[in-house]
Structure 1
Amino acid sequence: MSAPSHTTSYYAASANDKSIRPALTGQVEADVCVIGAGYTGMSTALHLAEAGFKVAVVEATRIGFGASGRNGGQIVHSYSRDIDFIEKHYGKNTGTEMGKMAFEGGRIIRRFVDQYNIQCDLKDGGIFAACNSKQMRELEEKKQLWESHGHQNLEMLSETDTQKYIGTTRYKGALLDKSGGHFHPLNLVLGEAAAFESLGGVIYEDSPVTRVEEGAKAKVHTAKGCVTANFVVVAGNAYLGDLIPKLQAKAMPCGTQVVTTAPLTPEQQRELLPHDQCVEDCNYLLDYFRLSGDGRLIYGGGVTYGAREPGKIESLIVPKMLKTFPQMQGVKIDFAWTGNFLLTLMRLPQFGRVGNNIYYAQGYSGHGVTCSHLAGKVLSDAIQGQAERYDVFAGLPQYPFPGGRALRIPYTAMGAWYYNLRDKLGI
């Protein structure tokens, strides 16, 4: 049987490193074993390696195979539920502490890129685009909220100003976050993996974990090997499967779809995004888009619940793209793919322990790029005995979906339909 490879995405086709790491065989000992070589796993592993820990990473398929190598490639701060929601539902102290961490993930990404010279087409600037007056008011509130938590470099854009940044008449205005940005997501995680290996870390690919054995020293078993470690970090997220059954009930994989055009002319690029910044709109089922390093339009959106593969990605996404950019009618689509993110009932990340020495972080609910990098730092600190920030996340309630596995998809899809209707009506 052939070894699993990346999805047929633009990112995989343009990856800087196409080498394959060996599978785990035999008995290995480490201070920490990380399950999953995506952003959560590699951020954790790299932070620990920087602190002098001996770390082994076990990956079922390829580095960045899941959401980390398929996402929109945007630095978007905070969480899927913003700081005011957290404060309202879980108390002022929790809101304050999570507010202190809400903008750290982007800084971690930039440090990794700068320190380890990661070539991932990193560019500055991100835009939240409002589709109606209600969303515009919400963006004004977001600006005030983020500034109250110390985040600056924000600018409101009028409808006219927005058209200077995005070549469309679709939006009523926008919020420009100058500290946002975009990049090639697979090349970022591959660069983090190379940085980790440069510090003595080891990554095993093609090594699906079959079971995790609890104990004073935990054992991570694969078909052909075993890692014995003082600590284990479970970082499989939407691709974890049923390895840890108690985690499966708490979250649901959801698919999002992306297309990438053929390279555009410089004139077309300037017409669409003259300042070369990334954009996401403010709908519940949002669209997101940007230019790639070689001048393609990358456009994503849509949600399929339960991680079903859509039969025709282009038929879902191209109409969305043409609604925003009618001038792209007839443009050639070179790549189309889908990837899964992990949704939680409260749309907040889930951190916790299984036993005393098995840690997990999952369920970023569509805000995983920055939060997963933060998670790696927080998990690394906790393993080193500084668990205060980890405990803030771990203290958030983790609810299973109502009705268990059988009903979580229809319930969540019904909720998405409701919010999508609200988006369309502007209420």
Structure 2
Amino acid sequence: MSFLESDRELSRNSYYAATAHRSQRHAPLSGAVRCDVAIVGGGLAGLSAALDLRERGLDVVVLEARELGRGASGRNGGQAIHGLACGQDVIEAQLGLADSRRVWDMSIEALDLLRERIGKHGIDCDWRDGYIGVATSARKGRELAEWADEIETKYGYPVTRIPPADITRWVASGRYHSGIHDPRSGHLHPLKYVRGLARAAADAGVRIFEDSEVTSLQQDGGVTLRTAGGEVRAAQVLLAGNVYLRDLAPALDARIMPVGTFIVCSEAMDPALADTLIPTRSCVCDNDFVLDYYRTTDDHRMLFGGRVSYSAKMPPNLNESMRRRMVDTFPQLASTKIEYAWGGFVDITMNRAPDFGRIGNNVYYLQGFSGHGLALTGLAGRVVAEAMSGDAGRFDLFARLKHRAFPGGRLLRTPALVLGMAWYRLKDLL
């Protein structure tokens, strides 16, 4: 089974697709068009950039290989959380403390930008405030407390500490030692949000083409992109397709690894039960390296994510294995059925830091959000729009982060990563 065939299989039984109304469809590209900026990829990063570029007066075209939000943007856990997928120590080591603070502040700006766009464009996407980070052991609890101290003292970002005596009042589970609460982070229905962004971009004059996979990119002064139905001639291009770019940009493909991650969603439960599980209705994530993340939805279901896979296949017995994880966390849900189960591919980098940069002078790229991109993609779209409009200061701050290719190439990097992840799983258990 090919990568794209597997991806279609993983996306078939998505709660998001079943509950997000689609009001707009966009025809494939036909013929030749010209524009200031062409964007490859109609997910959160591409659409966010398109909206900002159009607001700056540029003529923008978006080319989406399938349908908008079909990739990770429309299938993720729906959690918009402070910071990056990597620790701030990774950023400090490369950029120093002052610039690491700038990066952290931009991750918080990303949360504000997300709320701003929901309000400005009237996007109905089930937003709720609140994130709870939980520790699965006393050792992990100490690590989480140390992180909270550092983020408050070095980065000026306070969070509420949840001591062991109080943790079950926040999350009605016996699994956790302690936790933190951040009211500024939160969660939403990602596919509804993607489609809301697309509507706002189209209303602003962005030309969007679906079912328009880019088959070649040629830099010849400007940039020419070709699809099966036509071509786009642009002054500048943004590559925002992440793991789906594949052979279009081989040098970029080597620096990210597609890792499968999976989510189940329960049947609707009694609202009173949902309220007892997570009384604040915040989203929750543990601090293991291979983590669980979950939240209750607006229609009172438990949406529970976790597990990873390094092959391109849906794991066997996904519904049951994920249901066991859910029930291990919440025995109260022992009789609750699973109605949806789906997966998708996360684009991770070696150090889990985002990978932004240029190919030549006029092809920009955004990738490597490493499972932490719901809010950050919006900020990434803004900073690349600034760069394409002549102010590259914030984009170049991210572009200074150095990234290495995964060892072994496309064929051998997966076994190498499996060994590495096995080591981190063992550390989680110690």
TM tier relative to shorter chain:
over 0.9
2:429 partner letter: K
Alignment of structure 1 residues 13-52 onto 2, 5 Å: 13-17=18-22, 19-52=24-57
Are 1:308 and 2:331 matched, yes or no? no
Residue 217 (structure 1) aligns with: 222
**Shift, 1:94, TM fit:** 3.8
- Does structure 2 retain, via aligned residues, the 8 Å contact 1:285–1:302? yes
Is 1:201 aligned to residue 202 of structure 2?
no
Query: Is the deviation greater in 96-105 or in 287-296?
Result: 96-105
- For residue 397 of structure 1, report the CA deviation from its aligned partner: 1.2
Q: List per-residue Cα deviations over 1:336-362 (Å, max 9, x = no partner).
A: 001111111111111111111010010
1:24, 1:224 within 8 Å by CA — same for their partners in 2? Answer: yes
Q: 2:255 aligns with which of 240, 250, 256?
A: 250
Residue 75 (structure 1) aligns with: 80
Alpha-carbon contact 1:133-1:172 (below 8 Å) kept: yes
Query: Alignment RMSD, CA only?
Result: 1.7
1:90 CA drift (Å): 4.2
The answer to whether the 8 A contact 2:40-2:238 is kept is: yes
Equivalent residue in structure 2 for 1:104, among 106, 109, 112? 109
Residue of structure 2 equivalent to 1:60: 65
Residue equivalent to 1:355: 360
Deviation at 1:309, TM superposition (A): 2.7
* Residues 151 and 317 (structure 1), Cα distance of their counterparts in 2 relative to 1, 3 Å cut: farther
TM-superposed CA distance for 1:404, in Å, is 1.8
Residue 210 (structure 2) pairs with residue 172 (structure 1): no
- Residue number in structure 1 paired with 2:326: 321
SS across alignment from 2:273: helix
Distance 2:219 2:297 in 1: 44
Q: Secondary structure at 2:243's aligned position in 1?
A: helix
6 and 53 in structure 1: CA distance in 2 versus 1, 3 angstrom threshold: farther
1:387 to partner: Cα distance: 0.6
Which one of the candidate residues 417, 421, 426 is aligned to 1:416? 421
Cα deviation per residue 1:1-48 (whole Å; 9 max; x = unaligned)? xx9996320000111325421111011111111100111101111111
Name which of structure 1's ranges 31-40 and 92-101 shifts more when overlaid on structure 2: 92-101
1:333 and 2:333 correspond: no
> How far apart are residue 406 of structure 1 and its match?
2.5
Which range is displaced more, 83-92 or 398-407?
A: 83-92
Q: Give 2:288's aligned residue.
A: 283
TM (norm. structure 1) is 0.95
Match of 1:228 among 229, 233, 237: 233
CA offset digits 1:170-197 (Å, max 9, x no partner) = 1101010110101000001110001111
Separation in structure 2 between the aligned mates of residue 238 and residue 151 of structure 1, nearest angstrom:
34
Q: What letter corresponds to residue 105 of structure 2 in structure 1?
A: K
Match of 1:372 in 2: 377
1:277-300 Cα shifts (integer Å, max 9, x gaps): 100011101000001111111000
Per-residue deviation, 1:306: 4.4
Q: Is the 8 A contact 2:11 2:343 kept in 1?
A: no
The amino acid that maps onto 1:260 is: C
Match of 1:161 among 157, 163, 166: 166
TM-score (norm: length of structure 2): 0.95
Pairwise CA distance, 1:79? 0.9
**2:263 is the counterpart of 1:263:** no
- Which has the larger displacement, 10-19 or 73-82? 10-19
SS in 1 for 2:268: coil
Match of 1:397 among 389, 395, 402: 402
> For structure 2, which runs of at least 5 residues remain unmatched after alignment?
1-7
1:266 & 1:70 partners in 2: Cα distance?
24
**Matching of residue 293 in structure 1 with residue 295 in structure 2:** no
Q: Which residue in 2 is equivalent to 1:384?
A: 389
Using the TM superposition, give the Cα deviation of residue 333 of structure 1 relative to its aligned residue in structure 2, in angstroms: 0.9
1:5/1:87 Cα in 2 relative to 1: closer, same or farther (>3 Å)? closer
Deviation at 1:81, TM superposition (A): 1.2
Distance 1:92 1:126 in 2: 26
Change (3 A) 1:118 1:280: same
Aligned amino acid, residue 215 of structure 1: D
Task: Answer whether contact 2:265 2:341 (CA < 8 A) is retained.
Answer: yes
Report the CA distance between 1:153 and its aligned residue. 5.0
Aligned residues: 423
Cα separation, 1, equivalents of 2:409 and 2:329: 38
Distance in 1 between residues matched to 2:143 and 2:393, nearest whole Å: 32
Q: 1:132 to 1:412 in 2, by over 3 A?
A: same
Equivalent-residue separation in structure 1 for 2:312 and 2:238 (angstroms): 24
Cα gap change, 1:5/1:257 in structure 2, threshold over 3 Å: closer, same or farther? closer
CA distance in 1, matches of 2:325, 2:9: 31
Shift of 1:308: 3.3
1:385 alignment partner AA: G
Structure 1: stretches of 5+ with no match in the other structure: none
Cα distance in 2 between the residues matched to 1:12 and 1:112: 22
Aligned to 2:129: 124
Segment of structure 1 superposing worse, 90-99 or 322-331: 90-99
> In 1, Cα distance between the equivalents of 2:375 and 2:346?
14
Confirm or deny: 8 A CA contact 2:101 2:155 kept in the other structure. no
CA distance in 2, matches of 1:382, 1:247: 19
Task: Determine the C-alpha separation between the residues in 2 that align with 1:316 and 1:356.
Answer: 48
CA contact 1:4–1:62 (8 Å) conserved in 2: no
Contact 1:127–1:176 (Cα < 8 Å) also in 2: yes
**SS class of match (1:303):** strand
Q: Could you tell me which residue of structure 1 aligns to residue 3 of structure 2? A: none
| Residue 139 in structure 1 maps to residue 124 in structure 2 | no
